[in-house]
Amino acid sequence: MGGSGKTTLAMEIFKDHKIRGYFSDRVFFETISQSANLDTIKMKLWEQISGNLVLGAYNQIPEWQLKLGPRDKGPVLVILDDVWSLSQLEELIFKFPGCKTLVVSRFKFPSLVTRTYEMELLNEEAALSVFCRAAFDQESVPRTADKKLVWQVAAECRGLPLALKVIGASLRDQPPKIWLSAKNRLSRGETISDSHETKLLERMAASIECLSGKVRECFLDLGCFPEDKKIPLDVLINIWMEIHDLDEPDAFAILVELSNKNLLTLVNDAQNKAGDLYSSYHDFSVTQHDVLRDLALHMSGHDALNNRRRLVMPRREESLPKDWQRNKDTPFEAQIVSIHTGEMKESDWFQMSFPKAEVLILNFASSVYYLPPFIATMQNLKALVLINYGTISATLDNLSAFTTLSDLRSLWLEKITLPPLPKTTIPLKNLCKISLVLCELTNSLRGSKVDLSMTFPRLSNLTIDHCIDLKELPSSICEISSLESISISNCHDLTELPYELGKLHCLSILRVYACPALWRLPPSVCSLKRLKYLDISQCVNLTDLPEELGHLTSLEKIDMRECSRLRSLPRSSSSLKSLGHVVCDEETALLWREAEQVIPDLRVQVAEECYNLDWLVD
């Protein structure tokens, strides 16, 4: 991240007496920048390393000389500061024995760099000291200043050295009301002065301007999520797929690129674990430094309010912003709308028009939430995300707003009490993906006679996670012939799956993870001829698998970690000719020895123990 002190640390290394002593003063520092002349820099560095003036062009130096290095000169340390691209780095690294290179960059280069040190942000005490030096020319808050207000402004800098220096300096000698205004503006992601914009945000924006078009837009989308909250990876990837016309692998590749450029942080080693072909995103999340979020908001806010591509409430408020109300009579052109409030009643909303909105994110914290009436006018809405950050599950009012969402493709509900299905059986003809996280489902599914295949005729992906009151799935789910993926995880009361599950002929992924009460899989599961991935991990009460398991001729991977009561495999397991990967415990791996002899290319992987409490409410 720009402004984190990388160059300052590199200069200290360059000047350090012990380091210079080890390298016999053969330590060289070169700033690269975006528009560097690489031939000139290579020539200069080689002349410093070799101690000889190069006559002619760099490419005329003999290759053997570059590979062996200068004789009898000793070890060399080359510090390359402000490197912007892999192509630059490939040109500038010398590979002769004894030459070490320290690369200083906002980005990661895993293909070339063997070890990476990521700059840590300053802790509270150090951050306040840096801030006070910039604002007051001393290490601590003066007696004449409002200590609490100074601390609040410094805290908005989130430990980023450059932000502490720039914002502190901009408030030097300013009266308390200006400080209070600065605190409020910073909390909304707004600039507080020209120097704040030019010295901090525009400097950091250089990292964004060099991104390709879609990658840049994906970065700007990150500003639509609340500060200091984990962003569900599933939500983010899905939004990118919908509004940027990306395939899932391409969306994930953009995620990794932004991570490698330190523009977001992947939680729980998501780059490696979520990158698996059959992995689920629901276990993973993304975080972003608040200064980067402010940058995304700043870059998205250049247009007039009604013309912005992203209409965002930067922080939680008890009501909608006043400038939204002042502009409500003119249609908003936003493609993404993000609202963050507490409890909302019908009277708290006012009518707005969003003819181009494709994504609506509703963040709130309450036990009752009235859906905004303007949802009914969002004719192009493709993704709807409702996340309740309250302590108890929320009941939704104004469900009739769903009646006109004919183009809705994705629905994410988190910590919501679902109403009984008979009251919400409006066909959502284009809905492809439903994700229910920490929801209460009992009243919704109990005794339900609703034909889910009529309500969700194109549903392809169903995810249910941490819905602890889920005991069974309605049998009509087996009539949704379009279903390709079912993922049920951490549902501790689920005892069995529908008997007719085998009717889902398009199902390729079945994940029943961490459901300890599940005691069997229905025999009909063996009729799923297109099933490629089966996950029964942490189903500790599962004692056996269906005898006809070998009929799953397309099955490529089984994940069966921590199935401690599973003592044997069906004889038909040896017929799983497409099976290439089994993940299990050491004891279960012994059960697969016979199958390994007859199934070509089968790899049985003994899994490491892994405990994840990331789902706990922040």
pLDDT of 617 reads 47
Mean pLDDT of the chain: 86
The CATH architecture that domain 470-618 belongs to is Alpha-Beta Horseshoe (3.80)
CA distance 529 to 8: 60
Cβ neighbour number for residue 173 with a 10 Å cutoff: 7
Mean pLDDT to the nearest integer, 560-578: 91
Apex 548 CA angle, 545 and 553, nearest 5: 105
Domain assignments of the chain as residue spans, ordered by start = 6-105, 124-200, 211-291, 470-618
pLDDT of 615 reads 46
pLDDT in tens, 582-610: 999 999 999 998 888 899 889 999 987 65
Complete edge-to-edge strand list for the sheet that includes strand 285-287? 231-232, 285-287, 265-266
CA distance 147 to 128: 11
Q: What is the model's pTM?
A: 0.77
- The answer to whether 431 touches 456, Cβ cutoff 8 Å, is yes
CA distance 546 to 525: 8
pLDDT in tens, 336-372: 999 999 899 999 999 999 999 999 999 999 999 999 9
CATH topology of domain 124-200: Helicase, Ruva Protein; domain 3 (1.10.8)
pLDDT band, residue 61 (cuts 50/70/90): low
- The answer to whether 54 touches 43, Cβ cutoff 8 Å, is yes
Q: List the beta bridge partners of residue 364.
A: 388
**Residues with Cβ within 8 Å of residue 118, at least 6 apart in sequence:** 262
Please tell me the CATH code under which domain 211-291 is placed.
1.10.10.10
Topology match between the domains 124-200 and 211-291? no
Least confident of 35-49, 215-229, 243-257: 35-49
CA distance 277 to 260: 20
Pairing type for strands 285-287 and 265-266 reads: antiparallel
Is 33 a residue whose pLDDT tops 90? no
Is 84 a residue whose pLDDT tops 90? no
pLDDT in tens, 69-83: 566 677 889 998 888
